[in-house]
Amino acid sequence: MASILRTSAPRAIRTTLLSSRRTPALPILQTRLQSHDTRNPPRGNPPIANRPPPDAPREEAGALRNNSKSGSYLGTTKRLPEFNLNDKVVLVTGAARGLGLVQAEALLEAGATVYALDRMPEPSADFYRVQKRAAEELGTTLHYRQIDVRDVPGLNEVVKSISDSQGKLDGLIAAAGIQQETPALEYTAKDANLMFEVNVTGVFMTAQAVAKEMIRWKRGGSIAMIASMSGAVANKGLICPAYNASKAAVMQLARNFASEWGHYGIRVNTISPGYIKTAMVEALFEQYPERKRDWPTQNMLGKLSVPQQYRGAAVFLISDASSFMTAADLRIDGGHSAW
């Protein structure tokens, strides 16, 4: 996750846990821009109104018909159709990379049309792999819009233009977030305000913009906001007071949104991940090797998670599979915060 690292206090523990400063090398950027227009990505089958879940592939359909072997093609007319996201338009903030991008790919696999919103001028290299796969293999589309969630007028404009062009808006995963590791006694007001502006107000304004569109189209919708186990506990050996408070706020916002928007058919939930092993967490382990040893021992499964372990949660919460679930937190932390 992206970090904002400050240098104000000599004893501050500063990490690159969530660094967002990297920009792609220019030659790579140029090559990618020649082959991809991020505002007009390669198109697969356009979403068709009220499209039913797809049929099972031929071989599997045969097996399903005569029960000769167990089928596994989930999300079809035969298997768990409530997980199917065909015909749904979903926004994912923070999806230029990391957890947001992995969850966006899961939504695409379930059939959704997905718009990634992120402040990065150019998404990560992996974004282009997913975008290509969406068009060529999954029969759907992944789009990119550069927007900083702190730019509220810009955010509103982007959300409205997507909603206008698609004639609907069905889902949001709010994954954009920053992290900063600094002891409470050394935290500056400026840094704390930045943390809350992105992680709390940014999530708030994104959900508000999306909910307004959902209400306009009268189709209901589902919003999943990425909180953290750190919204419920203070992490041992990871000193992030403002970040942890911001994630507690995300959970409380979700309960309030759910209570205000339930009668519009809008559900609002949070996902609270435990530690996710990303490239940046790996880099952190090089800086603090004891964390690599200690962190896995702090949960009941004895290991850290990977972003792919949150794919199912994203599809579940956005789809009708969770149609009676709102104002809830889906904690996926290997039991960390139950110990």
Ligand X SMILES: NC(=O)c1ccc[n+]([C@@H]2O[C@H](COP(=O)([O-])OP(=O)(O)OC[C@H]3O[C@@H](n4cnc5c(N)ncnc54)[C@H](O)[C@@H]3O)[C@@H](O)[C@H]2O)c1
Question: Binding residues for ligand X, per CB under 6 A?
Answer: 1-2, 18, 20, 93-94, 96-100, 118-120, 148-150, 175-178, 198, 202, 226, 228, 273, 275-276, 278
Q: Are 303 and 274 in contact (CB under 8 A)?
A: no
56 or 225, CB closer to ligand X? 225
**Catalytic site residue 247?**
yes
**Catalytic site residue 292?**
no
Smallest distance from ligand X to CB 228, Å = 4
Q: What is the DSSP letter of 298?
A: G
Closest CA to 140 of 99, 101, 106, 183: 106
Q: For residue 276, give the 3-state DSSP assignment.
A: strand
134 or 229, CB closer to ligand X? 229
Q: What is the DSSP letter of 200?
A: I
118 or 170, CB closer to ligand X? 118
64 or 120, CB closer to ligand X? 120
Smallest distance from ligand X to CB 189, Å = 19
Give the C-alpha separation, 113 to 98, whole Å.
19
For 232-248, letters b (16+ CB in 10 Å) and e give bbebeebbbbbbbbbbb
Active-site option among 73, 88, 168, 247: 247
Active-site option among 243, 264, 277, 310: 243
One-letter identity of residue 66: N
Smallest distance from ligand X to CB 56, Å = 33
Name the H helices within 187-322: 189-196, 203-217, 241-261, 279-287, 289-294, 311-318
Give the C-alpha separation, 89 to 117, whole Å.
13
Smallest distance from ligand X to CB 229, Å = 7
Q: Which residue is nearest to ligand X (CB)?
A: 98
What residues are labeled active site?
A: 243, 247
